[in-house]
Structure 1
Amino acid sequence: MTEQIRSGGFFQIMGWILMVLVVSGFGIVQVLTPELTSPMRLALALHTLIFLSWFALLIIQPRLIDQRNFARHKQIGQISIGVAIALVLIGMIVTREAYQSPDWSIAGMSPQSSVMFPFTDMVFFAVLYWLAIAKRKDANTHKRLMLFAGIIMLDPALARLFRTLGMPPPFLSAVEIGLVIAILIHDRRTLGRFHGATWFGAALVVATYPLVFGVSQTKAWTELVTAVLGSPPAG
């Protein structure tokens, strides 16, 4: 069984789900706890704008394919390169600003260990996006890699959402794993098997856990982050 090229409905729906999560994550923090965003309002505003632009592409691009508007899809795809670069750059800026804030912590970890969270997001996003561009002539591979690039970058929005709602970190993992399962089910129904790009994307999602909860705790990682970003300010 082969997947038809005009099967963007699932990928559009997934794009909308990711967009809702991102809007909820950034929006609920601003509405309920605006004091948390005020120290780095400009960077977070740019961060939010670029994030929304990226996730909007995950909705627009599959729709253009369904409409067989390949020329416009290609034009927007070229624009997405700039959006992807900006996404990584602003992620680095926000991470550095957060690291320099007293008492910054993700999941109760030290500032050095917390850096691993955005670090893995940005590195894995870059890998998935680059491979998706390299495989742009293979529609089935391309769209799956792009979708996984979006899932990998959900962490900042989900972390803000669940922290503000007082929900523990496992909820974040549950959402991401749920999204991966949805792709696996789609593959099984449309292809009769799990696509190689799905296996690869799922592997990267899973790989984040030993990195953020294992490697990030090591002395070598702490020393590396301290050498690059300096010692965090005392709380």
Structure 2
Amino acid sequence: MTTLIDDRRVRARDASPARYFYLHMSLACAATAFLGFAPTYWVPLANRTLSASPVIHFHGLLFFTWSVYFVIQIWLAASGRVANHRSLGIVGVSLATAMTIFGFLASVHVMKHSAALGQQDAGIGFSIVPMSGIAFFAVVFVLAIMNTRKPEIHKRLLLLAAVSLLDAPIARWFMTFLAPPGPPGPPPVSVTIAPAVVASLLLVVAIVRDWRTEGRVHPVYIYGTLALLALKVLNWPISETAAWHAFAGGILALAQ
């Protein structure tokens, strides 16, 4: 009975054209993720020219599944199927957990690959980008789960978590069209800042929407966007410290 009442309240609150805003945002996230990885993953995979380890393939499968799952969950909520949305929540928890684990494993794999190319220090330095990225996603996702009974916070945290993953696919387009030719290996950490800023433009859209419809910007967007951009900028100087090289180098040593 309580669930039925809650569902009716959600339907009443979302009974406006703006209820599909988050669905459109989830579709934008999914499209960005797919198109971003198209030149370096999906097209080579379709042409059978891609050579990658099982860890990378499973990592890609999990993250692509997340994009589809995110769209489905937002669609269920937007169409008033809140009970179904909640029932699928456990799937999201399992998926996010697997993403966190394989995101970490993929980071270690990239470090090992860089070491095999004779670029161990560069690989250790760059590892801060995927490791901090998946850690940010995991923390924000946990906060979203903790706020499932507060929809205004919950949905904004999930959008923040989704956007936080988009710097990787956007960076693939930077690499494809802007990167100068050179030997294979990890790029400098500094070049990851621009893709993160581009990805954050989706949060700017959400901020503008809040301002126009609510008359104010929700704190999740203010503090979340600032935290995300600060993380991406701070990755650069931290990646060059002895402390990070000792930490990530220790992980690499255990994995070899």
TM class by shorter chain equals 0.7 to 0.9
Work out the CA distance in 2 between the residues paired with 1:140 and 1:104.
Answer: 47
**Counterpart pick for 1:89 among 78, 101, 107:** 101
Amino acid at match of 1:203: L
| Native 8 Å contact 2:168 2:195 kept in 1 | no
TM-score, with length taken from structure 2: 0.79
Query: Kindly tell me: are residues 139 and 231 of structure 1, through their superposed partners in 2, closer, same or farther at Cα, counting changes over 3 Å?
Result: closer
Kindly indicate whether residue 72 of structure 2 is the aligned counterpart of residue 60 of structure 1.
Answer: yes
Consecutive unaligned residues in structure 2, runs of 5 or more:
1-11, 180-190
What's the offset of the Cα at 1:5?
A: 3.3
Query: Kindly tell me: are residues 116 and 70 of structure 1, through their superposed partners in 2, closer, same or farther at Cα, counting changes over 3 Å?
Result: same
Query: Kindly tell me: are residues 231 and 132 of structure 1, through their superposed partners in 2, closer, same or farther at Cα, counting changes over 3 Å?
Result: closer
Amino acid at match of 2:26: G
Aligned to 1:38: 51
Aligned to 1:51: 63
Of structures 1 and 2, the one scoring higher in RCO (CA 8 A, sep 6+) is 1
Amino acid at match of 1:159: A
Work out the CA distance in 1 between the residues paired with 2:209 and 2:110.
Answer: 38
Query: Kindly tell me: are residues 92 and 222 of structure 1, through their superposed partners in 2, closer, same or farther at Cα, counting changes over 3 Å?
Result: same
Structure 1 segments of 4 or more deviating over 6 A?
33-36
TM-score, with length taken from structure 1: 0.86
What's the offset of the Cα at 1:104?
A: 8.5
What's the offset of the Cα at 1:214?
A: 1.4
**Counterpart pick for 1:212 among 230, 235, 247:** 235
* Deviations, residues 111-170 of structure 1 (Å, cap 9, x unaligned): 121011011111111111001000011111000000110111123222223212335655
Aligned to 1:18: 29
Moved more, 196-205 or 155-164: 155-164
**Pair member with larger Rg:** 2
Work out the CA distance in 1 between the residues paired with 2:38 and 2:115.
Answer: 23
What's the offset of the Cα at 1:36?
A: 8.7
Aligned to 1:137: 149
Work out the CA distance in 2 between the residues paired with 1:217 and 1:83.
Answer: 32
How many residues in Structure 1 have an aligned counterpart in Structure 2? 227
| Native 8 Å contact 2:37 2:169 kept in 1 | yes
Work out the CA distance in 2 between the residues paired with 1:137 and 1:180.
Answer: 22
Work out the CA distance in 2 between the residues paired with 1:121 and 1:84.
Answer: 13
**Counterpart pick for 1:114 among 123, 126, 143:** 126
What's the offset of the Cα at 1:209?
A: 2.6
* Deviations, residues 194-214 of structure 1 (Å, cap 9, x unaligned): 101112321221122332111
What's the offset of the Cα at 1:232?
A: 10
Consecutive unaligned residues in structure 1, runs of 5 or more:
none
**Counterpart pick for 1:98 among 110, 117, 132:** 110
* Deviations, residues 174-196 of structure 1 (Å, cap 9, x unaligned): 32231121111011012111101
